[in-house]
Structure 1
Amino acid sequence: MSLPATARPDDRDALRTAVREVYASSGMGVVFAGPVRTARGGAVIRIGELVGARTTHLRGLEVRAGAGLGGRVLAEARPAGVEDYSGSPDITHEYDGPVLAEGLCTVAAVPVLVAGRPRAVLYAASRERGSVGDRVRDALARSARRMAAELAIRDEVDRRVALLAAAAPGPRADGDPARWEEVRAVHADLRLAAQDIADEPLRHRLLEACTRLAALGTAAPTPDRPHLSARELDVLAQVALGCSNREVAGRLSLRPETVKSYLGAAMTKLDAHTRLEAVVTARRWGLLP
């Protein structure tokens, strides 16, 4: 049996999007960011995404926890800012060379926290001296929250796929029923996670993985196999776990009558007269695991 590989793309795309959002909404002339990684001496930020820079001094700069403004933000896991970088007594000054070479004066930074752990740091900076206002703070906070939510979803997808690999059963007729039920639960949860993913390529790859899961232990698809929409499959996957229409509605953020409509459409396509018959038929066709 072949299991789907993780659908996770490179997280730098989420960081790049966050930098562009902050640049567009903060009014600051330079915005940059870097992911957090573990090095021999502890956690470090490696600056890799920049907008508005005039030099290359910041690109590739590694900022260790506790050092400079970003290192302080990393160590404390909370936002911070300075109005005069070169003269600020609130930070260490190991990185004055590249920062001042870029001409930066006012700098604010915020951590991207996932499950309480910094995964990246976003900076917004100006070449003029001034206060870090609400507009800058709000722009940084919004983008950090959005990126954190995206990374959390990606983490959950990876976790679920790993669970699937650990609990992979044999063919449906001979596999351990309890382990096969875990595969079904993972399949339903992956479809649930997919609806919250804004990244279109990631969502598509995740749904493709769900399709492969559903087909495990069945023959190759035939031309006359019924075609269910993504939403009909979402609903049927939750129904297969024993959820009522109201429970399905809560999980999928739909109204109960909408769930009933999707379920009715699926039953019609499957030529089924009951919920159970619809689930059994969908499994027979390889539409559900």
Structure 2
Amino acid sequence: MPMTPPGRLALAASPLVAGALQALQHATGLPVAMGGPVSAGSSTLVIDQLRGTATGSLQHLRVDTGAGLGGKAVALARPSTVIDYLNAQGITHKYDRAVAPEQLRAMLAVPVRVGTTTRAVLYAATRESVTFGDRVLRAAGSVVARLERDIDVEEEVRRRLADPPAVPAGEQSDLRAELLAIAGSIQDDAARARLLAVCERLGPAPAPPGGPLTPREVDVLRLAAEGCTNDEISARLGLLPNTVKSYLKHAMRKLDVTNRVQAVNRARASGLLR
């Protein structure tokens, strides 16, 4: 059995994959979703998670690179689709006996790639013969892109926890802000908690150089960190647009920065936007 490289997240029966399959069903509107990891050594795909299936015929199915629809997606490193699986001409039919009991026809297979490596494959399927439109393809691509980011972040957390860097005191604020920004962008609660633990190991958060921020200044920066415009912040907090600008200006002065992006990062580094 191939060894998992240090820091590499094992995706067999992974909760990240399970969450992505649920999101895939919801986003595409297709009744069946399944998937599993691609082994590091042999590039063999193992389908180990199923949603919406009626039998166990596909559970633990091992799919070779280039074979079937999933194997084709691995070999080409891009999504592959069929309108009617059992009668499709663009794939091998090595796994027809496993697919037939489920009566699956139209099917989509999308490789999950981190860096240059295919780590898993997600499938979405229906028991009708249909051509998938751009909406379905975009929805599936969005789910897979989110999963790729979460895997990448989780593995970066593992690497940092295993070998934390020696950070000069003057650079800890910037590193803390970067880690907190990553933590705020990921969906997985366990990965986020571990990333926040790394921040705690950097020591106490520095106080804003110009004095503490008011609660309203923190509220404005929190919404700015979510990507809200001044008008959107105004609407959500029930403030006039000029008042929002004033809060931002005062916060930037206290944080000793010149723009809102720097203000958000400095506030994160100070532990104000958790």
Q: TM (normalized to structure 1)?
A: 0.63
Q: Which residue of 2 aligns with 1:133?
A: 133
Structure 1 residue 156 displacement after superposition = 2.9
Q: Which residue of 2 aligns with 1:212?
A: 201
Q: Which residue of 2 aligns with 1:195?
A: 184
Q: Which residue of 1 aligns with 2:35?
A: 33
The 1:19/1:258 distance shift into structure 2, 3 A limit, reads farther
Task: Tell whether the 8 Å contact from 1:124 to 1:136 is kept in structure 2 after alignment.
Answer: no
1:149 aligns with 2:138: no
Task: Tell whether the 8 Å contact from 2:109 to 2:121 is kept in structure 1 after alignment.
Answer: yes
The 1:168/1:30 distance shift into structure 2, 3 A limit, reads same
1:88 aligns with 2:88: yes
The 1:210/1:252 distance shift into structure 2, 3 A limit, reads farther
SS at match of 1:195: helix
CA shift digits 1:142-161 (9 cap, x unpaired):
21111112222223333433
Structure 1: any 5+ residue segments left out of the alignment?
Answer: 1-5, 170-178, 216-225, 236-248, 268-278, 284-289
Task: Tell whether the 8 Å contact from 2:161 to 2:198 is kept in structure 1 after alignment.
Answer: no
Q: Which residue of 1 aligns with 2:121?
A: 121
The 1:252/1:52 distance shift into structure 2, 3 A limit, reads closer
Distance in 1, Cα, partners of 2:31 & 2:19: 16
Distance in 2, Cα, partners of 1:48 & 1:124: 14
1:20 aligns with 2:27: no
Percentage identity across paired residues of the two chains: 35
Structure 2: any 5+ residue segments left out of the alignment?
Answer: 1-6, 205-211, 231-244, 257-265
Task: Tell whether the 8 Å contact from 2:157 to 2:194 is kept in structure 1 after alignment.
Answer: no
Distance in 2, Cα, partners of 1:257 & 1:153: 36
CA RMSD of aligned residues (A): 3.9
Q: TM (normalized to structure 2)?
A: 0.66
* Alignment: residue pair count: 227
SS at match of 2:45: strand
SS at match of 1:65: coil
